Structure 1
Amino acid sequence: MKKDHAADTDFALTHVSDSHRKGFWPMLVVMLGFTFFSASMWSGGKLGTGLTAWQLIATVMTGNLLLGCYTGLLASIAAKTGLSTHLLARFSFGEKGSYLPSFLLSITQVGWFGVGVAMFALPVQKVTGWNIHALIIGSGLLMTATAWFGFRALTILSFIAVPSIAILGSLSVGKAFTEFGGLDAWFAMTPSEPMGLFTAIGICVASFISGGTLTPDFTRFAKNKKTAVSTTVIAFFLGNSLMFLFGAVGAAFYQQSDISDVLMNQGMIVWAMVILGLNIWTTNDNALYASGLGFSNITGLPKKLVVLANGVIGTLAALYLYNNFVGWLSLLNTMLPSIGGILIADYFMVRKRLYGTLDDTHFDTVRPTAIIAWAAGVVAAKTLPGIAPVNSVLAAIGVYLVAEQLMGSIKSAESEAA
């Protein structure tokens, strides 16, 4: 029997309707709001102190090209089906099996939300002396309130935040060049503690691979595949690259990997608090939105209620998460990329782009081939040399295809024997 989801304008548990699909510009600002991520500037700061300018450019272009390819494939699937990451996982992982990727992805986003709240509140507290707990509770609840309104609120907020952060980052880079001798001075710099290129590319990819796996949560609203893929690739290749460059240039000249410290040295901290606050706000709303979809898949509860609960939890745990979650994220980044690899392999290679509607599809409870492939991706990320997230995706795809072939052969043999 078909379920009525007509009242769910965020389509948490069904396909996005054609009437709610968006064109190029609304999708582009949402995806740029997703990738204009303050943590990418922090990661860029780390690269800026360990790489030459040419190495940095090559690293950022390579890392974000890899991210663009990965997320572009996921965007294509989402635009065609109108389904979120969590609902797509039902085809490959099974109906109950999809709870594994939903839980891993969602708990990561709740964690990022808490980190983001603290990332905003701490610099403000440093400058103003205001009570840190009041800042965290106030900003966390405000971010949660806007996430309550769903995709439309994300679009409006992104239209404000994206140009603002682009202007701030450009001003910061321009001021650094003016004070220290311009591009020539930057290209002449050599790091005191050089970083290996594989390590640097790994940092670039790992900085957004978990978020990138959730690309379908947003691109399912795209009017068509061309819009979904083009806006996603632009956002990751251009938007995320700009974030890295904004963080790296200041770090190279001021020897401060924290963008807030760089902006403080430049006398731009007041504007920085406002604009970085907007930037973190968009990212945090995306995180809450995605986590709400994931936990809705697990619990069947309305997304808005789950968003409210996740926002309160993330806000109350913000300082703890800020101080402890980043280390755990390195573990999660080995556990998440293989999920996207399995979604890609199942849609393009196993089912040949032939997904039915949710109501007309009979899902297995759990599909062991996906669980095995996910585990193989985790092992590959932790043990193989090279770029860990890329190893995870490729291993998961390879193992999933082999496991599906073997499972098909076993079922054929059983049918013939019967």
Structure 2
Amino acid sequence: MQGNNDYPLSEVPEESRKGLISMAAVLLGFTFFTATMWAGGSLGTAFNLNELMGIIVIGNLLLGIYAAALGYIAYKTGLNTVLLGRYCFGEHGSKLSDFVLGFTQIGWYAWGVATIAIVLTTLLNISESWQIPLMIVFGFGFCITASIGFRAMELLSKISVPLMLVFIAISFYQGLVDVGGMVALIGLEPTDSMQYSAAITVVIGTFISGGTQATNWSRFSKTGRIAVLATLAAFFIGNGLMVFIGAFGAMIYQQADIVDVLVAQGFMVTAILMLFANIWTTQDNTIYNFAAAGCNLFRTKQRKLITIVGAGIGTLLAIFGMYNLLIPFLVLLGTFIPPIGAVIMANFWFVHRAAPPKLNDISLPTFDYCGLAAYFIGSLTAYLSPWMPPIVGMIAAAASYMLLVTITASHKQAAKVS
């Protein structure tokens, strides 16, 4: 793999493609994340179980379809999202998506670094003065597997994902025992309120940024079927499970994080193991995403260097309080990230008819104003929409892009005729 550099500025060749188990393990490790459970916790106190399951299914199905569509494009082209952005935003215009996607991923990394330091000091009952040193240790420690590349993250995920599933099963069983069974769980009434559309937005926002950049791994798929199935497994089933577990814990124990729930259930050692497995498998994926965006932004193949720099930035953000900004951050992601993926999909299927030329075989404009305008239209529409901003933003971005491309092509044709 180019010295384990994972092709930051080029297509993934056939000899480096992976099978379903490898792809699913890495992507599930990515979506098994504490922050998603926290978002689920806000839903668990606002809806009864029947309403909650409907929200989880709808929100994660939409998220899964979106991520799987991008996953198929990544398989077909061998490119990740930031490289695909050159086709529809231009050589330099694509740096907009690099910045937006890179910023969101470094935000998640900061949140994860702060989370493990704060939770660990609480669990071990040690002084808060240890939190900043621990943030520094984990901030740079979690980037080790990402700096090595796909193979290291694959190995970590193949160990961690099965372990986490076992821990989740133990916690779920104990939760049912403590609440008095399924009938009692179904009978629990919500204590807070939230609009249905806002709940769907929170579910989609939990991993819309990650779904947009899951192409960093789905481009390694051997077949389109593997890319789609692995992505659906992660973003529909995996992310949905995390939302549900967070809601489940909040409904019974008033704790969304499964680590806190396991502690409440008396499983301290399991809780610590879950904490490390849960955070690490997402942190290395997140900083890997940041490095991919950074490589395209600066047109450099120094992925490992960008990874370490990103870890440093994320650690600083963690030290300065990123931990307290989760829910506003999710709403931000759900509004401004989806239009990027929508424009890329419209470019792939509408402009190139699912067969774009190789990146080095096509002359691209410095700025593609159709793509950039469509992204801003989609983002503005999502921001102003009172109903499911992510969905509205994607539709507006894709539709406006196709319209602008059609008008531009018509004008060019008319100019040639005249």
Which TM class, normalised by the smaller chain length?
over 0.9
CA distance in structure 1 between the aligned counterparts of 2:89 and 2:166, rounded to whole angstroms: 43
What residue is the counterpart of 1:408 in the other structure? 409
What residue is the counterpart of 1:55 in the other structure? 51
CA distance in structure 2 between the aligned counterparts of 1:294 and 1:41, rounded to whole angstroms: 26
What residue is the counterpart of 2:338 in the other structure? 337
Moved over 6 A (4+): none
Kindly tell me the number of residue pairs found equivalent between the two proteins.
Answer: 413
Tell me, yes or no, if the aligned pair for 1:33 and 1:282 is still in contact at 8 Å: yes
Does residue 179 of structure 1 match 2:175?
no
What residue is the counterpart of 2:112 in the other structure? 116
Tell me, yes or no, if the aligned pair for 2:260 and 2:271 is still in contact at 8 Å: no
What residue is the counterpart of 1:358 in the other structure? 359
Secondary structure of the 2:360 match is: coil
Measured at CA, do residues 294 and 168 of structure 1 come closer, stay the same or move farther in structure 2, by a change above 3 Å? same
Secondary structure of the 2:213 match is: coil
Per-residue Cα deviation, 1:171-199 (whole angstroms, up to 9, x for no partner): 11211110110111111111122333222
What residue is the counterpart of 1:16 in the other structure? 12
Tell me, yes or no, if the aligned pair for 1:90 and 1:98 is still in contact at 8 Å: yes
By how many angstroms is 1:264 displaced? 2.6
TM-score, with length taken from structure 2:
0.95
- Match for 1:369: what amino acid? C
Secondary structure of the 2:359 match is: coil
- Match for 1:284: what amino acid? Q
What residue is the counterpart of 2:311 in the other structure? 311
Q: Kindly, what percent of the aligned residue pairs are identical?
A: 38
Tell me, yes or no, if the aligned pair for 1:32 and 1:162 is still in contact at 8 Å: yes
What residue is the counterpart of 2:391 in the other structure? 390
- Match for 1:56: what amino acid? L
CA distance in structure 1 between the aligned counterparts of 2:266 and 2:143, rounded to whole angstroms: 31
CA distance in structure 2 between the aligned counterparts of 1:134 and 1:76, rounded to whole angstroms: 41
* Structure 1: runs of 5 or more not aligned: none
Tell me, yes or no, if the aligned pair for 1:115 and 1:319 is still in contact at 8 Å: no
Structure 1 counterpart of 2:72, from 61, 76, 90:
76
Tell me, yes or no, if the aligned pair for 1:96 and 1:365 is still in contact at 8 Å: yes
Per-residue Cα deviation, 1:80-102 (whole angstroms, up to 9, x for no partner): 11001111111111111110001
By how many angstroms is 1:212 displaced? 0.7
Tell me, yes or no, if the aligned pair for 1:30 and 1:155 is still in contact at 8 Å: yes
Tell me, yes or no, if the aligned pair for 1:45 and 1:259 is still in contact at 8 Å: no
Secondary structure of the 1:166 match is: helix
What residue is the counterpart of 2:382 in the other structure? 381
CA distance in structure 1 between the aligned counterparts of 2:257 and 2:166, rounded to whole angstroms: 18
CA distance in structure 2 between the aligned counterparts of 1:197 and 1:54, rounded to whole angstroms: 13
TM-score, with length taken from structure 1:
0.95
CA distance in structure 2 between the aligned counterparts of 1:91 and 1:15, rounded to whole angstroms: 14
CA distance in structure 1 between the aligned counterparts of 2:86 and 2:416, rounded to whole angstroms: 25
What residue is the counterpart of 1:246 in the other structure? 245
CA distance in structure 2 between the aligned counterparts of 1:147 and 1:180, rounded to whole angstroms: 40
Structure 1 counterpart of 2:123, from 127, 133, 145:
127
Tell me, yes or no, if the aligned pair for 1:172 and 1:246 is still in contact at 8 Å: no
CA distance in structure 2 between the aligned counterparts of 1:298 and 1:37, rounded to whole angstroms: 27
Measured at CA, do residues 8 and 271 of structure 1 come closer, stay the same or move farther in structure 2, by a change above 3 Å? closer
